[in-house]
Amino acid sequence: MGVGTSDTNLMPAREPGRASEFYWACRNGDIATVEKMLPNLTYEQVNQVEPNGSTALHAASFYNHPDIVRLLLESGCSRTILNYNGATAFQEAATDEIRTLFKRPDSNRFFDEQLTNSFRLVPEKEDKVETEDDTIDDWVKRHTSADLAHEARLMITMVNSSNPFSQIVKKRIEAESTETLGKLVETAVPKDHKQYRNMSDFKQKFLNKMGIGNLLQMYTLQTPFYKTLQTKADSFTVLLYLHLNELQDRAFQGCAYRGGTMSQRDIDAYRWALNSENYVLETRTVQSMSLEKEVAQGFAEEAASNDKQTDRHLVLLTFSFPQKCPTAINLTKISETLDCLSTYEDEYEVTLLPFTLFSVKNIKVDPKSGQYYITLRNVPTPKTSLLTAIKHVES
């Protein structure tokens, strides 16, 4: 139910000391042989679990051969395979230097350059919102209280509905979304991309009904697919919503973090939401949060240092979930049966889906650095009937 890792296969009886020539080259630090053999090996050969219960990447990581680990990772080697101990190569790393090699390259994954684009403001009443600031007014008008978050209510209601009509609709929507997602993947990750085989492997496992977790692992790979989902997330979002029951053991409760930059007018919009009762923010995109504040802060600082707009403020968002939220999905290792779903374990990711509701609870600024700290609290999506939800969305 909670979706474990993608590569937990039943292993044959282990034969210690027995492995391929390529494995031994990686295990012994023979980089010349590795460089010679690697271009001629298939994806399956590079990533195979050897008779001794380990992979070449596990061996290079455990026996502290950083040059070989780097070479394997750069070639698109799988990071998620478990050895006979039930550990990934990252978990078997001998040193901090080796662990560093598994980190994601420069990325805005836990960072938003335009935080107001990631949310929409939802008023309690369907009246036009009037403010003195045109920018805030534009931001409000672009977006549609918890009771009036009709799209969010429709998604949750449809997923949980058991009536025959709903089941028919869900099957059709799933088929259409799967087809659309496949096309997005093909365009974003062509055959010459180094992560193509990993992406194809996860996609095929999802198509073969081997778990929605494979879809999330596709999302965490370092590929253009992540950026594609920032503007074309409908099919991905729908598929995850349709399979939320598989992820209920990963529903997140606690605090997670995300960085960003804002202009002063953007911050004023959040401050206006803070001071306006009965307004909630609704997420508009798929977003990555981290359980580790330092991870989000680090990505934010690095991205901000490259931001040429001098009028923008560094912001750290704290997302507070007082109770378990089904649309905030904990990708970290939760138990022995719920392994890490992210291909970058060190990021401690929680994936946040569109149509998740929040209220603004606090805004603080560091007088020395000028950095802002904004706290958002999750607001559970109100329950409604399927018919009512459909009527509101259509109106």
12, pLDDT greater than 60:
yes
* The model's pTM: 0.85
Mind listing the pLDDT tens digit for each residue in 74-117?
999 999 999 999 999 999 999 999 999 999 886 678 877 766 66
17, pLDDT greater than 50:
yes
In this prediction, residue 389 carries a pLDDT of: 36
Band (392; pLDDT cuts 50, 70, 90): very low
Band (151; pLDDT cuts 50, 70, 90): low
Dihedral sign of CA atoms 198, 204, 206, 208 in order: negative
Band (270; pLDDT cuts 50, 70, 90): confident
181, pLDDT greater than 70:
yes
Domains of the chain in start order, with CATH, are 21-101 (1.25.40.20), 111-394 (3.90.176)
In this prediction, residue 134 carries a pLDDT of: 52
Band (394; pLDDT cuts 50, 70, 90): very low
Percent of the chain scoring above 70 in pLDDT: 80
Instruction: Report the pLDDT averaged over residues 140-166.
Output: 57
3, pLDDT greater than 90:
no
Query: What average pLDDT does the structure give for the chain?
Result: 84
390, pLDDT greater than 50:
no
207, pLDDT greater than 50:
yes
Band (154; pLDDT cuts 50, 70, 90): low
Instruction: Report the pLDDT averaged over residues 336-348.
Output: 94
Cβ-based burial of 68 (10 A; exposed 0-12, middle 13-18, buried ≥19)? buried
Mind listing the pLDDT tens digit for each residue in 216-264?
999 999 999 999 998 899 999 999 999 999 999 999 999 999 998 888 8
In this prediction, residue 144 carries a pLDDT of: 38
Give CA–CA dist 381/76, Å, rounded: 40
Long-range CB contacts (within 8 A, 24+) of 30-38: 31/65, 31/67, 31/68, 31/71, 34/68, 34/71, 34/72, 35/71, 38/71, 38/72, 38/75
Band (284; pLDDT cuts 50, 70, 90): confident
